[in-house]
């Protein structure tokens, strides 16, 4: 069985989380600059077996695609074209940034660490992945 990789795609940074090989535990992996995402994915997929990529789907409170969708759609199309053997799933990412910040506060992180947007993106990707895993189990 391969891993599930989750992506919180933003205009500047991409938060990435991944499961273990048994797809039981979601763990934050890293945050990469958006310009480096393809290099990262080619390298990661060459080293690790990945069955599925879950990409956060931004929606507004009325369950409509948010403005961010226009940045994510070209990435999703590129992903399915470059890696046709890997399943790509979209999953609602509403409130993950807020939940990530709340998690950081609950974890006792200092204010300066909570302002680290790369860390927020990694935690958001982890929350997307965990929510996705919860929904399929």
What is the rounded distance in angstroms from the CA atom of residue 101 to the CA atom of residue 81?
Answer: 34
Write phi, then psi, for 69 (nearest 5 degrees): -60, -35
User: The domain that contains 28 carries what CATH number?
Assistant: 3.30.420.140
Q: What is the pLDDT of residues 7-48, one digit of tens each?
A: 999 999 999 999 999 999 999 999 999 999 999 999 999 999
pTM above 0.95, yes or no: no
What is the rounded distance in angstroms from the CA atom of residue 104 to the CA atom of residue 110?
Answer: 8
**Residue 71 belongs to what domain range?**
3-136
Structural domain count, the chain: 1
pLDDT at 100: 60
For 64, the 3-state DSSP assignment is coil
């Amino acid at each position: 069985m391969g891993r599930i990789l989750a992506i919180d795609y933003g205009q500047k940074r991409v938060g990435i989380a991944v499961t273990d090989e048994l797809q039981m535990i979601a763990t934050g992996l890293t945050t990469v600059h958006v310009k480096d995402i393809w290099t990262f994915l080619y390298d990661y997929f060459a080293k690790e077996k990945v069955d599925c990529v879950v990409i956060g789907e931004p929606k507004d409170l009325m369950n409509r695609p948010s403005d961010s969708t226009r940045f994510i759609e070209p990435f999703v199309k590129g992903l399915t074209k470059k890696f046709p053997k890997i399943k790509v799933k979209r999953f609602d990412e509403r409130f993950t940034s807020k939940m990530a910040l709340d998690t950081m506060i609950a974890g006792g992180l200092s204010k300066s660490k909570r302002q680290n947007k790369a860390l927020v993106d990694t935690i958001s990707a982890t929350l997307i992945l965990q929510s996705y895993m919860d929904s399929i189990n």
